[in-house]
Structure 1
Amino acid sequence: MPSPSSPMPAVDPEILAERSHLEAARAALRRMRQDVLDTETPEVYGDWVSTQILRQARDLRAEALVDLPDVPLFFGRLDFDPGTVFDPDPAAARGAVPKGDRVHIGRRHVHDERGVPLVLDWRAPISVAFYRATRESRMRVRLRRRYGFAAGGELTAYEDEALLEGPSAEEEARAGALLAAEIERPRSGPMRDIVATIQPEQDDLVRAPLDQTLCVQGAPGTGKTAVGLHRIAYLLYAERKRLARGGVAIIGPNRSFLSYIRNVLPALGEVDVTQTTVEDLLGVVPVRREEEPFAARVKGDARMAEVLRRDLWSLPRPTTETLVLRRGARRWRLYPDELAAILDELVERGVPYGAGRDLLAHRIAHALLTRMEAEGEACDDRTHDQVRRTREVKAAVTAMWPKADPLKQVLGLLTDPERLARAADGLLEPEEQAAILLPGRPRGPKSARWSAADLPLIDEATALIERPASLGHIVLDEAQDLSPMQCRAIGRRAATGTLTVLGDIAQGTAPSAADDWATLLGHLGKPGSPVAVLDRGYRVPAQIIDYAARLLPAIAPGLGAPVAVRRSPGALRVRAVAAAEFAGSVAAACQEALSGEGSVALIAADADLEGLRSHLLAEGVAAALLGETEDALETSRLVCVPATLAKGLEFDSVVVAEPARIVAAEPRGLNRLYVVLTRAVSSLHVVHAEPLPDALA
């Protein structure tokens, strides 16, 4: 470091010029946002709803243009062949792309007062070259530049890659340094975007067309979650009008995971995306108990759909009464066999149960009007409506096609052994039927002790009565843990849309976890959808990946081991300690991890975590508990993570306490341990007093 009296080193003129461009872009973004805020939304006379929609659209646009000071507006630059002219992107309608040979690539589009772009959106077609251009196929790119930023967003470095000719010795020596530094940069708090480091195989998936469902089998550290989030951002850019009609959603495994990813899309300028869990999506009743694994597996089985269908469609029954309609001095009759024929025709058509009542009323009215017209009575649409609404027709419809309530139907089915036996005959074994009955004697849906495994059953019953609306696109993360019944519920919400399905068969920990993607895609209603494989880990060091991969032959025999692209000295430590020293050794490992940079997690079996955390606090080590508060990932560098909530999260350093206890806690404990061991992106410290599982010993 120079002394205060010595002259400061000169700043590279290129860096000064780039800083000036960055400041101009920030000023332009502030002006763009202010222009939106200054826009007066007209009041639609007599239509309060339309006025509110216009104002909401304005507010969302302004929110999307908020400048995040710690997030650089651009991360790269492309210099093209001289004289190259780029056409505007018609899909984006963001104004003209500059004519010339140089463009800055960033997280969002920014233009000056004349409409000239200062930063081009990473999703624009022209930006594809930043991720895919090579010396063999340079896509008219002469030079690709990446930038380095200090904490707070100050531009401090750049790295050029010449594609027109071979690199110099100096360029070759430092090639990829900024990219590697960005990938390996320590993190704290929630997940950040990877838009500056997207790799070509990831970019292919991000930009895949909307019209096709895509499944991504991704090993730990391969960026499958980031691919899904960036794919949402890309599709909203390229297909915004189409998606505006149906909407988009991200479905994650739990609320802690959603808290972890919540900042990614806003950083990319997308603020109007629903983020939810399966339980919240289907949660029409409160969940009050944990289901036993065997019962959860049965309730999640696709056979339950047929059980529910049989039970519901046992309700429509022919009547033994003749329908007699009095109109004036005349009486018109429909006899039981005629009514039965009408009923059978509707049942065979497979109409939604809820629509069947109305259709039955129309069919009965039509049969009566046909008889009236044959006797010379003049009938029209008003006559048909009058007949359909008569007390006699309504009574016949109620007798033949009773109203159905999904909550009451599922409650009745799961509390009446005889009724369940009739509906499940030939489908479920007696022990399976006994396992899924609800505990106690609930008097109604509100008093029943529902479990999360019951929610898809209620949703299935609801869909049999009335089909739900479909979304335009759904990103489904950690999909390998979904039961067939959960898949059916989500598939109904993408019936006319598409899905991006993300997961890892090796990380399946739920009782009904999938063994293969083809079966799961079939349950989602998207059979035959392509499955892409991401097996190159960019963040997790090889030592950690290789150690965790020892479990793969036992938990996913047909799955290849992931490949790590980097090694990090000292990334893995496995320490055996005496039982009396265990808690102290765990605390020491956490303190050692805190002496470095980035986020730290202590992961242990759920039942053991509170005791370990209490020991940490007694030692004066501050530690938040994941799930206790929504901001646990932001308020403390050290977070105590229950093993069951670790999926999908990443931390710079991870201390894993007692792997054997994690394995013993649940039927798919080895899969859970695989998840836990692959959460670290810099260092993993395993502390154990009990013997390690055989594969790791």
Structure 2
Amino acid sequence: MAAPSPVPDASSPADAALAAERAHLDASRAALRRMREETEALDLTDVGGNEVSNKLVTDLIEERIAALADFRDAPLFFGRIDGRFADAPETAVGTAPTEVAADPSRPPESFWIGRRHVHDHLGDPMVVDWRAPVSRSFYRATRIDPLGVDLRRRFGWEGGHLTAFEDEHLTDGGEQDTASAILAAEIERPRVGPMRDIVATIQPEQDEIVRADLGRTVCVQGAPGTGKTAVGLHRVAWLLYAYRDRLRRSGTLVVGPNRSFLGYIRQVLPALGEIEVGQTTVEDLVAHVPVKAVDGDEAGRLKGDARMAEVLRRAVWSSVRAPEESLLVVRGSRRWRVAADEVEEVVDALRARDVRYGAARDMLRQRLAHAVLVRMERAGEAPDDRVQDAVARSRPIRAMADAVWPAVDPARLVLRLLSDADFLAACADGLLSADEQAAIRWAKAPRGVGSAKWTAADAVLVDEAADLVARTPSLGHVVVDEAQDLSAMQCRAIGRRCSTGSATILGDIAQGTTPWAATDWATTLRHLGRADGQLEELTRGFRVPREILDFASRLLPHIAPGLAPASSVREAPGSLALHAVHPQAVDNSAVARARELLSREGSVGLIAADAAVPGLAAALDAAELPYRRLGNDGGGDAARLTLVPATLAKGLEFDHIAVVEPAAIAEAELQGLRRLYVVLTRAVSTLAVVHGRPLPPELADAPTE
């Protein structure tokens, strides 16, 4: 597609080019509006032939209309490439992608890269989807390997208005790539509210992960500020573009650490045109029982231990028992008897098969019915399948199945396991010590499932038991963020949801804060059932300034000695400030610091140990500063200032942060130094540390104001 011609009255070549780009923007918006109007005007009355099909077609059309929305405050396109490329600038949606190679024999073409595809009335692309094969060249082309690109143009925007552009000539004989001021400005742009997509700033190493094939499970070890969460979300969007038909049938899911995190990322996928991706937490994923209590560190660690999978397997299968009498089936005037030892042989054969408990129980009735039919045939009768089904449903068969292979309720089974010392001892023999059994056993047996004080770890055990009884349905792709904090049993619960699909695993070993936090990714992948997952490492930060990252990285030798410190492409002198104050003035000083940070552009986070949050909330109220409080209904959603308990900070990002009393954060839990590392790396412009006590010795080398 040829580039637009400059407007004749432009005062300079640059002005002419900018005017032409604005004209292309106007034409593209008009084309997008036409595409939406044409879709809305479709008359699909009774096109499906029945109510179910009609509903499906209607839903697809409504989804298409939503995907064609024009967000006026967002750029319709953010880049352009001029060059010589092979055919097929876009792959048909729902088919496996193929790379577009350079083709010097072709005439030069221009492609505008944006968040969605837009075509003119002839079907020619005016904006190419960022996920299309040709768009790969926009993200990965360099002077060394231009991938057919002669010129790469980036656009500057203010709201929905195109304000500037910047060109890189990749085949002009230059010796090195030049830094992009527009790219840097977009990366550093203040962010208020939910997380935004990074589609305009994806880096080559990130793009390689984003475009990883659907069949590959990818584990991303990402230091703070490297964009691992965004990479995972953009991979979902790319997979849905390239494999839509397959994933529409099998489904996709994003699993986050908590609901605050899901609220933070909720706008990313819709902005990329994907509106039907499920998002949940591990707790909601396994919500078989109501969680009413919290485990201590030791109990939580043991309940999340991989050994519990075998304990539960033994518990489920312990229900199977040998028959005490033979099977007698009466049909009409005839009696058919199957000896107890033959019934036991059938039971033993089913136990030896690798099938779920519930499926084997259903098979048992059919096997017993078959044994009866064999006797009928020997007696000269000719029973058919209908007779076998009737025999399988007969009262004697059902009674025998209930006696030797009783139905198992997962919640009741786990309740018994955690409250019956003898049953637990039998199932955990050789796996858990007596002390470990005592640590996970309930002090008082509840009267029933409804009255039990279930914990989050108990719910995961119920999920494991449920899968032993009946196979958990698998999705096509699952993205798991903050995976370093998952227990082995939580990993198994997630792995079941993608047992026939693939996964994107995101996390940072250094940010593990649970008592069972991962120490290496190989173990986590094994528990997820993805031992063959490919490990990718992101160590180049883009959002967090080097000064802040270097300060936080002083903790790495103490919390994750095997990890190399992350580097940052940004230098921001003055971005880090330490403020020592009188111990009695910490709250008021923190509020004053928050007020000062609010005078700057962007979002502000005030982060403290959970126990200190109520006092800070009172100080903010007294100062009449509008704020919202994570984990609480207080404050307004529109407030630029967010009061954040340290335990909810993971995965979030603020332009400016005031961290209150680092020593209290470090001392609040077993993994306190790791929690502090998380908190210190949430800032992308300014980090102010307010402390009345000495800093933890691991951080004490820094000068204090």
TM-score bracket relative to the smaller structure: over 0.9
What displacement does 1:160 show? 0.7
Q: Which structure 1 residue ranges, 4+ long, deviate > 4 Å from structure 2?
A: 8-11, 97-100, 166-169, 629-632
Alignment map for 1:192-211 (pairs within 5 Å): 192-211=196-215
Give the conservation status (yes or no) of the 8 Å contact 1:259–1:631.
Answer: no
Structure 2 counterpart of 1:140, from 145, 148, 160: 148
More moved, 51-60 vs 249-258: 51-60
Q: Match of 1:387?
A: 391
Q: Match of 2:307?
A: 303
Q: Deviations over 1:453-499 (max 9, x none)?
A: 11110110110110011100011111111110011111111010000
Q: Deviations over 1:4-37 (max 9, x none)?
A: xxxx999922222211211221121122122222
Distance in 2, Cα, partners of 1:303 & 1:41: 55
Q: Deviations over 1:615-658 (max 9, x none)?
A: 022112212102324996x5111100111110111110000000
Give the conservation status (yes or no) of the 8 Å contact 1:260–1:649.
Answer: yes
Q: Match of 1:539?
A: 543
Q: Does 1:668 align with 2:667?
A: no
> Match for 2:190: what amino acid?
P
Give the conservation status (yes or no) of the 8 Å contact 1:406–1:461.
Answer: yes
Q: Deviations over 1:128-159 (max 9, x none)?
A: 11111111211221111111111x22111111
Structure 2 counterpart of 1:20, from 20, 23, 35: 23
Distance in 1, Cα, partners of 2:11 & 2:442: 75
Q: Match of 1:102?
A: 110
Distance in 2, Cα, partners of 1:340 & 1:536: 62
What displacement does 1:92 show? 3.0
Distance in 2, Cα, partners of 1:328 & 1:542: 86
Q: Report the CA distance shift for 1:383/1:92 in structure 2 as closer, same or farther (over 3 A).
A: closer
What displacement does 1:449 show? 1.2
Gap runs ≥5 in structure 1: 1-7
Structure 1 counterpart of 2:171, from 150, 164, 169: 164
3-state SS of 1:449 partner: coil
Distance in 2, Cα, partners of 1:496 & 1:141: 39
3-state SS of 1:551 partner: helix
Q: Does 1:376 align with 2:376?
A: no
3-state SS of 1:28 partner: helix
What displacement does 1:394 show? 1.3
Give the conservation status (yes or no) of the 8 Å contact 1:228–1:475.
Answer: yes
3-state SS of 1:333 partner: strand
Alignment map for 1:648-659 (pairs within 5 Å): 648-659=651-662
Distance in 2, Cα, partners of 1:631 & 1:689: 26
Q: Does 1:66 align with 2:69?
A: yes
What displacement does 1:588 show? 1.5
3-state SS of 1:159 partner: strand
What displacement does 1:374 show? 1.7
Q: Report the CA distance shift for 1:501/1:30 in structure 2 as closer, same or farther (over 3 A).
A: same
3-state SS of 2:328 partner: strand
TM-score computed with the length of structure 1 as normaliser: 0.94
Q: Match of 1:4?
A: none
What displacement does 1:254 show? 0.7
Give the conservation status (yes or no) of the 8 Å contact 1:111–1:117.
Answer: yes
Q: Match of 1:3?
A: none
Give the conservation status (yes or no) of the 8 Å contact 2:94–2:241.
Answer: no
Give the conservation status (yes or no) of the 8 Å contact 1:85–1:99.
Answer: no
Q: Report the CA distance shift for 1:696/1:463 in structure 2 as closer, same or farther (over 3 A).
A: same
> Match for 1:133: what amino acid?
A
Give the conservation status (yes or no) of the 8 Å contact 2:90–2:128.
Answer: no
Give the conservation status (yes or no) of the 8 Å contact 1:439–1:449.
Answer: no
Q: Deviations over 1:319-376 (max 9, x none)?
A: 1112122233332211211111111111111321111222111111111111222222
3-state SS of 2:644 partner: strand
Q: Match of 1:619?
A: 623
Q: Does 1:526 align with 2:534?
A: no
Distance in 1, Cα, partners of 2:679 & 2:491: 25
Q: Deviations over 1:416-444 (max 9, x none)?
A: 11111111111112222122223544222
Give the conservation status (yes or no) of the 8 Å contact 2:628–2:634.
Answer: no
Q: Match of 2:33?
A: 30
Q: Match of 2:417?
A: 413
3-state SS of 1:519 partner: helix
3-state SS of 1:550 partner: helix
3-state SS of 2:659 partner: strand
> Match for 1:564: what amino acid?
S
TM-score computed with the length of structure 2 as normaliser: 0.93
> Match for 2:136: what amino acid?
V
Distance in 1, Cα, partners of 2:494 & 2:296: 23
What displacement does 1:525 show? 0.4
3-state SS of 1:385 partner: helix
Q: Match of 1:92?
A: 93
Q: Deviations over 1:37-83 (max 9, x none)?
A: 222333267732222222111111111111111110100011114xx
Structure 2 counterpart of 1:584, from 588, 611, 627: 588
Distance in 1, Cα, partners of 2:258 & 2:332: 64
Q: Match of 1:292?
A: 296
Q: Match of 1:52?
A: 55
Give the paired residue count: 681
Q: Match of 2:686?
A: 683
Give the conservation status (yes or no) of the 8 Å contact 2:91–2:242.
Answer: no
More moved, 9-18 vs 127-136: 9-18
> Match for 1:674: what amino acid?
Y
Q: Match of 1:239?
A: 243
Distance in 1, Cα, partners of 2:29 & 2:162: 13
Distance in 1, Cα, partners of 2:245 & 2:153: 33
Structure 1 counterpart of 2:190, from 175, 186, 193: 186
Q: Match of 2:128?
A: 120
3-state SS of 2:352 partner: helix
Gap runs ≥5 in structure 2: 1-9, 101-105, 701-705
Distance in 1, Cα, partners of 2:481 & 2:639: 26
Distance in 2, Cα, partners of 1:562 & 1:168: 27
Q: Does 1:638 align with 2:646?
A: no
More moved, 623-632 vs 108-117: 623-632
Q: Report the CA distance shift for 1:440/1:392 in structure 2 as closer, same or farther (over 3 A).
A: same
Structure 2 counterpart of 1:445, from 444, 449, 467: 449
Distance in 2, Cα, partners of 1:631 & 1:115: 49
Identity of aligned residues (%): 56
Give the conservation status (yes or no) of the 8 Å contact 1:161–1:167.
Answer: no
> Match for 1:432: what amino acid?
E
3-state SS of 1:548 partner: helix
Distance in 2, Cα, partners of 1:9 & 1:414: 80
CA RMSD of aligned residues (A): 2.1
> Match for 1:513: what amino acid?
A
